[in-house]
């Protein structure tokens, strides 16, 4: 793999065959170039690159295990990406702040505040957000499930309704409000997730030999939802509800644009329970690229 090779031109099979170490090493070269470009950000913006601020979870921050959406967008000359992705983050923590310093029980400020400062400093006209997946994975998933021995439906409908229709909706709308208070014209683009396969796969190697995940099958097994079909039905329902909300918000707000990643994700595209193979993340990145370009073209016609 050479430094000059364009990440957007690598064949799918070669991209997916890269080990975590290889993708991390290659990304380090790309990241070094990106940081140099970011230090010259205002010059790049003046040269025509579109400033974009991004806030999200591991779909924006999957290194060093593999490439993510922003890795591909950062290599497109059309954009200057200001990245605030953090693997494992929840939409609640991004917007309101749930983390704290254990030494003094002092709350940490939400990462949205740093992203908002970036909006002010960069003059960005696009804001990308990736959130909600971690809010229904891991330990959080257990609270959404009934035990099979109770004879009740697998999903606690009341819990799910409240999470999606109240908690998620209010968090996303609070995020929109904070961004549009800075610039009511900025375009926010968000995505739903694909129908993950709850088969117990996690990230095998990250920073040496460390197992991360799985995030879905443990909770399902605890609640004795054991059949592959039943497990998949639960996950598909949860992902469907999140995608429905994101689509509804896209209909409600003219400056919020929803991407349905399910349109380009196949069952064979999953590297583990929560993350896509490199080639599939690239296809989702292209959806973002096409959306940004379509909005920019429309704005140009109206100006």
> Looking at residue 119, what is its pLDDT?
97
Three-state secondary structure readout of the chain: CCCCCCHHHCCHHHHHHCCHHHHHHHHHHHHHHHHHHHHCHHHHHHCCCEEEEEEECCCCCCCCCCCCHHHHHHCCCCEEEEEEECCCCCHHHHHCCCCEECCCCEECCCCHHHHHHHHHHHCCCEEEEECCCHHHCCHHHHCCECCHHHCCCCECHHHHHHHHHHHHHHHHHHHHHHHHHHCCCCEEEEECCCCCCCCCCCECCCCCCCCECCCCHHHHHHCCCCCHHHHHHHHHHHHHHHHHHHHHHHHHCCCEEEECHHHCCCHHHECCCCCECHHHHHHHHHHHHHHHHHHHHHHHHHC
| pLDDT, tens only, 219-235 | 999 999 999 999 999 99
Q: How does residue 134 score in pLDDT terms, banded at 50, 70 and 90? A: very high
pLDDT at 111 over 80: yes
| pLDDT, tens only, 27-67 | 665 544 444 444 444 444 445 799 999 999 999 999 888 89
> Looking at residue 210, what is its pLDDT?
55
Q: How far apart are CA 282 and CA 269, in angstroms?
A: 11
> Looking at residue 171, what is its pLDDT?
98
Are β-strands 79-85 and 100-101 bridged in parallel, bridged antiparallel, or unpaired? unpaired
| pLDDT, tens only, 146-184 | 999 999 999 999 999 999 999 999 999 999 999 999 999
> Looking at residue 181, what is its pLDDT?
98
> Looking at residue 30, what is its pLDDT?
54
Q: What is the share, in percent, of the chain residues with pLDDT greater than 90?
A: 77
Higher local confidence (pLDDT), 242 or 203:
242
| pLDDT, tens only, 254-291 | 999 999 999 999 999 999 999 999 999 999 999 999 99
> Looking at residue 46, what is its pLDDT?
45
Three-state secondary structure readout of 249-283: HHHHCCCEEEECHHHCCCHHHECCCCCECHHHHHH
Higher local confidence (pLDDT), 296 or 9:
296
Higher local confidence (pLDDT), 133 or 41:
133
User: Cβ neighbours of residue 227 under 8 Å, at least 6 residues apart?
Assistant: none
Q: How far apart are CA 95 and CA 183, in angstroms?
A: 17
> Looking at residue 200, what is its pLDDT?
95
Per-residue pLDDT, averaged over 67-74, amounts to 95
How confident is the prediction for the chain on average, in pLDDT? Answer: 90
pLDDT at 23 over 50: yes
Go through the domains of the chain in sequence order and give each one's CATH number: 7-302 (3.40.50.1110)
> Looking at residue 94, what is its pLDDT?
97
Are β-strands 126-130 and 187-191 bridged in parallel, bridged antiparallel, or unpaired? parallel
Q: What Cα–Cα distance (Å) separates residue 124 from each residue in 37, 58, 187? A: 16, 22, 9
Q: How does residue 302 score in pLDDT terms, banded at 50, 70 and 90? A: confident
> Looking at residue 2, what is its pLDDT?
40
């Amino acid at each position: 793999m050479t430094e000059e090779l364009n990440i957007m031109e690598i064949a799918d099979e070669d991209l997916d065959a890269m080990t975590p170490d290889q993708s991390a090493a290659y990304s380090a070269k790309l990241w070094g170039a990106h940081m140099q470009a970011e230090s010259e950000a205002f010059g790049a913006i003046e040269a025509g690159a579109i400033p974009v601020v991004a806030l999200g979870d591991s779909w924006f921050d999957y290194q060093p295990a593999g490439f993510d959406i922003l890795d591909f967008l950062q290599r497109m000359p059309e954009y200057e990406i200001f990245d605030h992705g953090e693997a494992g983050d929840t939409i609640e923590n991004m917007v309101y702040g749930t983390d704290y310093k254990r030494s003094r029980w002092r709350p940490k400020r939400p990462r949205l505040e740093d992203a908002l400062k970036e909006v002010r400093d960069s003059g960005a006209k696009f804001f990308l957000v990736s959130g909600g997946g971690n809010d229904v994975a891991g330990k959080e998933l257990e609270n959404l499930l009934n035990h099979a021995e109770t004879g009740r439906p697998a999903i606690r409908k009341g819990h799910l309704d409240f999470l999606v229709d109240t908690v998620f909706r209010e968090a996303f709308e609070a995020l929109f409000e904070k961004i549009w208070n800075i610039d009511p014209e900025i375009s926010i683009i968000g995505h739903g997730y694909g129908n993950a396969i709850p088969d117990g796969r996690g990230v095998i190697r990250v920073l040496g030999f460390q197992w991360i995940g799985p995030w879905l099958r443990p909770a399902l097994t605890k609640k004795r939802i054991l059949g592959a079909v039943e497990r998949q039905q639960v996950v598909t329902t949860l992902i469907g509800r999140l995608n429905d909300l994101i689509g509804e918000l896209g209909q409600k707000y003219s400056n919020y644009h929803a991407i349905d990643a399910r349109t380009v994700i196949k069952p064979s595209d999953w590297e583990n329970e929560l993350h896509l193979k490199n080639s599939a993340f690239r296809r989702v990145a292209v959806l973002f690229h096409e959306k940004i370009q379509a909005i920019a073209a429309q704005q140009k016609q109206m100006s």
